[in-house]
A and B are shown apart, each in its own frame.
Chain A
Amino acid sequence: TGNKILRFGPCMISMNVNEIRASFTAIKATIQAKDAIRTISILSYPYSLHNFNVDRCCIIHHLLRFYVDKVFKHCETEDSHVNRKISSIANSFLSIKKKFRQCNEQNVCDCGEEAIEKYKQILTNYGQLNITSAAMKSLGELDILLDWMEKA
């Protein structure tokens, strides 16, 4: 059924990753086709997200906020089907973000230097493009994030 309990430091969050993946898979080709700039990666430059298995709570906290605050709202397209799937992903992220907030009220999310540096690099990568291109690229890399999230 797809619901999994994923561990991020002190936080154990139940989420339906399959639902999010299904929505993303339905629009992945369309979104990635809109990304003409192949020389930049938002999440994977200079180091893969998969290098970061420490301070997972800190990284996921910042990335959820990054996607909810910065990415999804700038991904509106002329295709209603794509917009509906983006809405599905965005509302699922919002639901997960709220669960994190509950955990963070009782648990401290350690943010080591490396984690902070990684998030700063993500923002730098994001800042190199205009907002729409950066948002579309970030959305197109969602499976990188989902893969990392599932690596409990």
Chain B
Amino acid sequence: PLLTDEEALLPAPQNISILSTNMKHFLTWSPVTVPGETVRYSVEFQGEYERDYANEIWIPISECSLITVTQCNVTEDISATVPYNLRVRANLGSRSSKWSTLKVLFNRITTFLTPPVMEVSTDGYHLLVKLEDLGPTFQFHIFYWRKGQESWVHKKTVKEISSVVHLDTMEAGAEYCVKAQTYVEAINRSSNFSQAQCVRGPDG
């Protein structure tokens, strides 16, 4: 179909892509610039269900309707482990550009999982670790061992983050090392391990 004058004047957003880290998904694109004007953008999504069973309909994301920033948090709508498509268009007054659509469908199974930030400490003879709270989707696998007994590694799985996790009671004068990784059940994947941290218990 021939471009109407209106469409020809308002270019579609370019460089549309998904940034996904730790199950938080953001659609981003390059700005469309029209000198002296404020260009706005609207975002829609389409899951595998919509493509295969619901006449390929698109669903608007109201929080990203006529926005001026070039980023949209789509985490809430990417809520199943199936391929999703996303699109964005520019709006200027009553004029709209063509839609720009992801080049490759996005599945949350590909999210980048960062090693967890952790802080190992002692309280008397107690070996403790503090982990960052990444939300209910995340579990933590914590591995700890006594230095010099690397073949005897203990594992603890933490499903819900509390402030501090008690790992073990240390022996006097012994040094203990701890490392951790995150695990997301919904996509059945783990992060890389955090850097091991070692602490020494009190002398006897």
Contact = CB atoms under 8 A, between A and B. Distances in A.
A1 B79 contact: no
Q: Is the interface of A mostly helix, strand, loop or mixed?
A: helix
Contacts of B84: 91
Interface residues of B, number: 29
B53 A87 contact: no
Interface stretch (A53-61, A78-86, A107-115, A120-128): A78-86
Given A91-B82, A94-B82, A83 B59 contact: yes
A90 B188 contact: no
Nearest to B61: A84
B171 interface: no
B173 to A, nearest CB: 38
A90 B159 contact: no
Interface of B: 45, 47-50, 52-55, 57, 59-62, 76-77, 79-82, 84, 136-139, 159, 185-186, 188
18 contacts: A1-B137, A1-B185, A2-B136, A16-B186, A23-B79, A68-B49, A73-B53, A73-B55, A84-B61, A84-B76, A87-B47, A87-B77, A90-B47, A90-B53, A91-B82, A91-B84, A95-B82, A98-B82
